[in-house]
Structure formats: C-alpha cells, structure tokens
Amino acid sequence: MNEENRTLDIQSLETAIKNQDVKNFKIAAKELHYADLASVYEDLNDEDRSFFTTHIDLSIFPNILAELPDTLIEETLERFNVKEQQKILEQLIDDDRADILQDVSSEARQRYLALLRPEEMEATRSLMRYDEHSAGGRMTTNVARITSGMTVKEVLDILREDQESTESLARIYVVDKEGRLIGKVRLRHLAFSSWDTPIDDLVQEVDMTILASADQEEAAQLFSKYDMTILPVVDEYGRLLGIITHDDILEILEQESTEDIEKMSGIVGDPSEETYLNTSVRTHFKRRSPWLISLALISIFSGYIMFRFQNVLSSIFLLALYLPMVIAAGGNSGGQAATMVIRAMTLGELEAGSTIKVVFKELRLGILLGLFMGTCIAGITLFILPAFIHPEFPDHITLPLFALSVSTALAIQVSFSTMAGALLPIGARIIKLDPAVVASPGITTLVDILGMATYFTVARTVLSL
C-alpha cells in the first residue's frame, strides 16, 4: 500500500466515524494498519471513541490497544464488557499484556488478571516482576524453544502448532532439560534439510545473551553494535526466559533518544507516550516549569555579581558592549562540549578509564577555541569598533588595553567552559547521575555566573579600575 492510499483510507475512516456510518467504518478499518487505527482512535472525542470500540473487529483490537499511550489504556478497556475484555487480553502477546497491565490502576489490574487462564496469569505475573525498562521487562516469552534430541520433522510439527503465537521463528532456541540455553537453529536450515536430519546436527552456538535484569539500553547497544535480529534473555543460571526482537529495540532507541534530547533542554519526567499535540498544556507545564524556575533563581547570582561590580561598569560603560557576548560564548562552547561527550557516552564510546583522554582533548580544544575567538574580538575592537562608536575612556586606559581586557576574558571563559562542559557529564556519571541532566541549560547557567565574575575581574585587573 502506498502513502497516498493510506491517507485516503484514513480520511474515509474518519468520515465514517463522524457520520456514525458502521458499514464504511468496517470497510476502511479493514484496509488500515493497526498503527494507523491507533493514531486515529487517539485523536477522537469520547463519543466517537465509543463508536470506534463498539464496531471495531475484536480480533484486531488487541494490536491497536498495544499501540495506545499508557494513559489511554484503562479508559479504553473499560469501554468493553467483561467478556470482550477477556477476549482482548487473551489475544495480546505476553509482553504487551504485561506492559498494559502495568499501566492501569491496581484495582483494574486485579480484575484483568482474574480474567486470564491460570498459565497466562502466571506468565504475565512473572513478566511484570521485571522493571519496565529492563531486558526482562521488554522481552516476550513467546519464543520458539525445543529440546535437543529431536529430528527436523518433529521440530517442524511442534513449531507448526505454535506458529501463530510465536513472535519470531527466524531463530529457534535449543535448551537442555533444565531449560538452560545450549544453542540455536535457523529456520532456513530446518526448511532446507531433509525431515529425518537430527536437530543436533544443525545446532549453532549463540553469540550473545543478556541478563533479564540488565538495562534496556544495554540491549539496544548490543543490537546496534553486533547487527543482531534477536537477543535471547536469560536468568543468572543461563536459563532461557525469552527474546528481545528488533521492534522492541526500535522502541527503546526512540525512547532513549527522546529522553536524552529532552533532558538536555531541562525538560523533566518521562517522555510522554502521547504525541506532542495530545499532551495537555498542564502536563507540558509540569515538565518544563521546574528547571525554568530553578535556573531563573540561580541566575540571580549572576545578576548579583554584576550588581557588585557596579563601579567597574560605571567607569567604562563600554564594557557592557561585550558582556552578553562573553557570557553567551561560555554557554555555547560548554554546551557543545557536553553534547559531544554525552553522545559519545550514549553510543558506548567512552569507557570509564578514558576521563584523562577527554580532559586532555577538551583542554587543547578549549584553549584553541578561546585563543581563536579572543583574537577575533581583539581585532574587531581595534579595527572595526572605532568606526561605529567613539570610545570614551578614563585617562590611563587605551583602546588596545581595553581590547586586551575583553579578549582575555573571552578566551578564559571559552576555555574554561569547554572543559566544564566535558567534565560535568563525566562527573555526573561517576556519581551515578544521568549525564544528560547536567547538560545545557544547567551548564549554561553555571558558566554564566563564572563568566560574569571572570569578565569583571579581568577588567578590574587589566584596566586597574
């Protein structure tokens, strides 16, 4: 299906809902992917959502439900009667089911769990034990699993029975009688072998596994470093618990990038699962205001320094011309350094022992950038400034001396901020804080204060004020 057809189908679905036209609703819904159906549902008002849930085909609804943001899960499930709820919950893939049950109120969770068959309830409960952001919380237990000693025919017969509920058949895992993972078989090797081949002839070693308790980010790093399709999840005894598949990884990567980017702008809390437009002004406010007000209060220190240097500024008011520049240059250079270092950490490029190398690199860079910018500003002050402003100085001060003062302050501020920008994320990691949190605007506010102090201290010293 191409993009254009999809847009048309979405439009006819929306029209059908608006007109409460059951027949065309069913036709359009059949054509669309569940991800599109979920987006449409999300944007409906209460009444239209009822129409949607009344007439949607119950066999595809579980897929739609799994795509909805956390905050919509319970109110959506409550639109169905108990029998329908049971049908929906039973059809969900087990990791989706566990996720969904983690997103509803504890009262609803008990009710929903009670609707499941005993073995499903057990599987769901055991998945819910793991943190939502751990490998165990991400895995599915619907893994193709066989024990050694069978023939290809026997394996194919077993797999055929379970084929609809098994998330991926690309790798079939072989376990011993204690459930410990001993190897894998590729479906292509089964398909191309004669039916009487012993399965043990086809078993290959498993490259990588991950502990259920490991962070989801670790799983994502393994996937992208080693070009994996499926990652088996094991417990501390090496028993196969489930698998993480590439679609879980895409979700993890999207979530982690959004988190990093948002933290770097001082936005608090977990990224909303809803889209930007569907997130309420209230939620946006709650996520943005804490850092905004904290940083504003901290900025008063910067203002206080300026206030205390009143006599320096009053003696040569031309100093005001470069004040915002020196301050801002610190925030910008510190922000760049922090971004580079944080990104390198996220991509797993900086091991714990590389701090010295980073310090040395950013020290050289900071000095280079500081000298470069200081020189530019000195040149501008000496050769361009006089054409626009006639500078008035006290007797003992000359234009070159003034240029020396502002360019020295700029060079110090840029060098220092570059170092600070690189070191703060590393320091944050050492004390187990998320590096992205300390990135700009946190760094900006900090180096603003230092820049203010540097600027006036250098001016007072160089210009003997």
For the segment 261-320, give every residue that binds a copy of itself (CB under 8 A): 261-262, 264-267, 275-277, 281, 284-285, 288-289, 291-293, 295-297, 299-300, 302-304, 306-307, 310, 313-314, 317-318, 320
Rounded-to-integer distance, Cα 453 and Cα 302, Å? 8
Q: Which stretch binds a copy of itself (CB under 8 A): 46-54, 122-130, 135-143, 359-367?
A: 359-367
Per the omega criterion (within 30 degrees of 0), is the bond before 441 cis? yes
Q: How far is the CB of 440 from a copy of itself (least distance, A)?
A: 7
Q: How far is the CB of 361 from a copy of itself (least distance, A)?
A: 6
Nearer to a copy of itself, 51 or 456 (CB): 456
Told to check if 139 binds a copy of itself by CB under 8 A, we report no
- Say which residue the tokens 């499926």 belong to: 230
Rounded-to-integer distance, Cα 446 and Cα 302, Å? 9
Rg (the chain; Cα; Å):
31
Told to check if 327 binds a copy of itself by CB under 8 A, we report yes
Of 165-184, binders to a copy of itself (CB under 8 A) are 169-170
Binding residue (CB under 8 A) for a copy of itself from 150, 159, 359, 462: 159
- Say which residue the tokens 């040149």 belong to: 379
Nearer to a copy of itself, 22 or 35 (CB): 35
CB 181 within 8 A of CB 175: yes
Told to check if 401 binds a copy of itself by CB under 8 A, we report no
- From the number of C-beta atoms within 10 Å of its C-beta (0-12, 13-18, 19+), residue 206 rates as middle
Told to check if 373 binds a copy of itself by CB under 8 A, we report yes
Rounded-to-integer distance, Cα 389 and Cα 376, Å? 18
Told to check if 111 binds a copy of itself by CB under 8 A, we report no
CB 105 within 8 A of CB 112: no
Nearer to a copy of itself, 180 or 225 (CB): 225
Rounded-to-integer distance, Cα 117 and Cα 416, Å? 63
Binding residue (CB under 8 A) for a copy of itself from 11, 19, 224, 461: 224
Q: How far is the CB of 118 from a copy of itself (least distance, A)?
A: 29
**Nearest CA among 35, 36, 13 for reference residue 26:** 13
Q: How far is the CB of 14 from a copy of itself (least distance, A)?
A: 13
Length of the chain: 465
Q: What are the counts of helices (DSSP H) followed by strands (DSSP E) for the chain?
A: 23, 6
Told to check if 83 binds a copy of itself by CB under 8 A, we report no
Q: Is 185 helix (H, G, I), strand (E, B) or coil?
A: strand
Told to check if 8 binds a copy of itself by CB under 8 A, we report no
Told to check if 258 binds a copy of itself by CB under 8 A, we report yes
Nearer to a copy of itself, 74 or 259 (CB): 259
Nearer to a copy of itself, 60 or 344 (CB): 344
At residue 102, φ and ψ (nearest 5 deg) are -75, -15
Q: How far is the CB of 148 from a copy of itself (least distance, A)?
A: 19
**Nearest CA among 156, 235, 224, 150 for reference residue 188:** 156
Q: Which stretch binds a copy of itself (CB under 8 A): 12-20, 107-115, 152-160, 455-463?
A: 152-160
Per the omega criterion (within 30 degrees of 0), is the bond before 118 cis? no
Nearer to a copy of itself, 86 or 354 (CB): 354
- From the number of C-beta atoms within 10 Å of its C-beta (0-12, 13-18, 19+), residue 132 rates as middle
Residue 107's CB: how many other CB atoms inside 10 A? 9
Told to check if 383 binds a copy of itself by CB under 8 A, we report no
CB 241 within 8 A of CB 233: yes
Told to check if 457 binds a copy of itself by CB under 8 A, we report no
Told to check if 160 binds a copy of itself by CB under 8 A, we report yes
234 sits in which H/E element: strand 230-234
Binding residue (CB under 8 A) for a copy of itself from 328, 359, 453, 462: 328
Number of alpha carbons in the 13 Å side-chain half-sphere of residue 119: 1
Rounded-to-integer distance, Cα 52 and Cα 290, Å? 38
Q: How far is the CB of 54 from a copy of itself (least distance, A)?
A: 26
At residue 136, φ and ψ (nearest 5 deg) are -65, -35
Q: How far is the CB of 367 from a copy of itself (least distance, A)?
A: 10
Between helix 319-346 and helix 246-263 the angle, nearest 10°, is: 160
Q: How far is the CB of 242 from a copy of itself (least distance, A)?
A: 17
Told to check if 341 binds a copy of itself by CB under 8 A, we report yes
Nearer to a copy of itself, 160 or 396 (CB): 160
Told to check if 365 binds a copy of itself by CB under 8 A, we report yes
Told to check if 9 binds a copy of itself by CB under 8 A, we report no
Site string for a copy of itself, 411-450 (x = CB under 8 A): ---x-------------------------xx--xx--x--
